[in-house]
């Protein structure tokens, strides 16, 4: 009898969790904790991540769309931008984003530094410019002193801004999920139902895309392999970057770490619940219709991927001065 069949049989008979450690060749790997190499750079990045003065309105910060109290996203189908503009796409979580092959759903930013500068100057998001954002920071002595302490000069640059934000985001790793503990040999970390859900997840082919430490984020895949995905969202995926027709509707595979916190799901936010997301993915990607019981087990497994959330003292931002450009929250 295979390992998978033995585990499912044990679950069906309601016997206790098997007394074995996770095999070393599991497609999902434990998530290591972040290593802080430059605490001062990270602290500066934290302040910038929470500072709404990087936006034209003085109201929108990085944390607005990537709320660290809400799984690193905003739990909206589309984020709200400058002057209440509706965003074109669902906001992906910033948690564990350093493990992504690239940033944004279409991968147009290769690094976190590339990504960090985008929303600042996007007229539909923070609606500022890099020049205005830098001038705002340059007008604040508290920031000038901190940038000098970190970078060794008095002149603030957008390159330094994005480097600091990226350094902070690199610390937003969420290890120690119950599934990680099971992978490391804690046989009591998961229930039989959760283990059965993991076996279904593997046996159904989900790990072909959702694998590695981040359980995704490392490839681009077509959405709607077996059955076309129908949506009113205008995003076309990777083709926007490569201009190759073969990349139409190819999106970066999202990480499933903390997935119970990052609803709604998909690039268009159309799946409101994990159960709905599992049903849709099974149907359009795998050509499989999960029973209600199978769906419940897979969802139970997915919830074991929630790890330690960012936990730190909120930064106190340095005050503006008379030279700081006033915010423009309204037309």
Domain annotation for the chain: domains and CATH numbers: 39-171 (1.10.760.10), 178-304 (1.10.760.10)
**Looking at the DSSP assignment, which residues form a beta bridge with residue 220?**
252
Which residues line the annotated binding site? 62, 65-66, 82, 206, 209-210, 281
State the pLDDT at residue 18.
39
Per-residue pLDDT tens over the stretch 105-117: 999 999 999 999 9
The pTM score is 0.92
Q: What is the pLDDT of residues 65-98, one digit of tens each?
A: 999 999 999 999 999 999 999 999 999 999 999 9
Tell whether the model's pLDDT for residue 193 goes beyond 60: yes
Average pLDDT over residues 192-197: 98
Assign 23 a pLDDT band (cuts: 50, 70, 90): low
Q: Which of 26, 43, 125, 199 is catalytic?
A: 125
**Binding site as annotated, residues for heme c:** 62, 65-66, 82, 206, 209-210, 281
Q: Is the pLDDT of residue 192 over 60?
A: yes
Whether 163 has a pLDDT exceeding 70, the answer reads yes
Q: How confident is the model at residue 8 (pLDDT cuts 50, 70, 90)?
A: very low
Residue 15 pLDDT greater than 80, yes or no: no
Q: Is 199 a catalytic residue?
A: no
Contact 147, 137 (CB under 8 A): yes
If you average pLDDT over residues 155-176, what whole number do you get?
Answer: 98
Q: pLDDT at position 131, please? A: 98
Summarize pLDDT for 275-300 with one digit per residue, the tens. Answer: 999 999 999 999 999 999 999 999 99
For residue range 115-139, list pLDDT tens digits in order: 999 999 999 999 999 999 999 999 9
Q: Residue 4 above 90 pLDDT?
A: no
Residue 96 to residue 94: CA distance in whole angstroms? 6
Amino acid 55: pLDDT: 98
Token code pair at residue 135 = 């001038």
- What's the confidence (pLDDT) of residue 17? 37
What does the pLDDT look like over 201-246, one tens digit per residue? 999 999 999 999 999 999 999 999 999 999 999 999 999 999 999 9
Say yes or no to pLDDT of 177 above 70.
yes
Q: Which pLDDT value is given to residue 20? A: 46
Q: Is the model's pLDDT at 5 over the cut of 70?
A: no
Question: Cα 231 vs. chain centroid, distance in angstroms?
Answer: 22
pLDDT of residue 187: 95
């Amino acid at each position: 009898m295979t390992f998978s069949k033995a585990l499912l049989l044990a679950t069906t008979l309601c016997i206790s969790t098997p007394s074995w450690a996770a095999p070393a060749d599991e497609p999902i790997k434990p998530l290591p904790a972040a290593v802080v190499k430059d605490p001062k750079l990270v602290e500066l990045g934290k302040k910038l991540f929470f500072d709404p003065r990087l936006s034209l309105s003085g109201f929108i910060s990085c944390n607005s769309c990537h709320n660290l109290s809400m799984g690193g996203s905003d739990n909206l189908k589309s984020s709200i931008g400058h002057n209440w503009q509706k965003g074109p796409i669902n906001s992906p979580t910033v948690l564990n984003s350093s493990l992504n092959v690239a940033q944004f759903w279409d991968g147009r930013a290769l690094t976190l530094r590339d990504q960090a500068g985008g929303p600042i100057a996007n007229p539909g998001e923070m609606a500022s410019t890099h020049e205005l954002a830098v001038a705002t920071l340059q007008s604040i002595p508290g920031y000038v002193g901190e940038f000098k302490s970190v970078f060794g000069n008095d002149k603030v640059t957008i390159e330094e801004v994005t480097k600091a934000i990226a350094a902070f985001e690199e610390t937003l790793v969420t290890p120690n999920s119950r599934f990680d503990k099971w992978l490391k040999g804690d046989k009591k970390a998961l229930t039989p139902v959760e283990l059965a859900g993991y076996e279904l997840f593997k046996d159904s082919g989900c790990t072909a895309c959702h694998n590695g430490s981040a359980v995704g984020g490392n490839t681009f895949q077509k959405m709607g392999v077996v059955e076309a995905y129908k949506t009113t969202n205008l995003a076309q995926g990777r083709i926007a970057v490569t201009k190759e027709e073969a990349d139409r509707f190819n999106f970066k595979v999202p990480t499933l770490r903390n997935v119970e916190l990052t609803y709604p799901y998909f690039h268009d936010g159309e799946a409101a619940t994990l159960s709905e997301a599992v049903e849709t993915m099974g149907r359009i990607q795998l050509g499989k219709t999960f029973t209600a019981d199978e769906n419940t087990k897979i969802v139970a497994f997915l919830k074991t991927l929630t790890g330690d959330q960012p936990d730190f003292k909120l930064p106190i931002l340095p005050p503006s001065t008379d030279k700081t450009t006033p915010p423009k929250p309204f037309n």
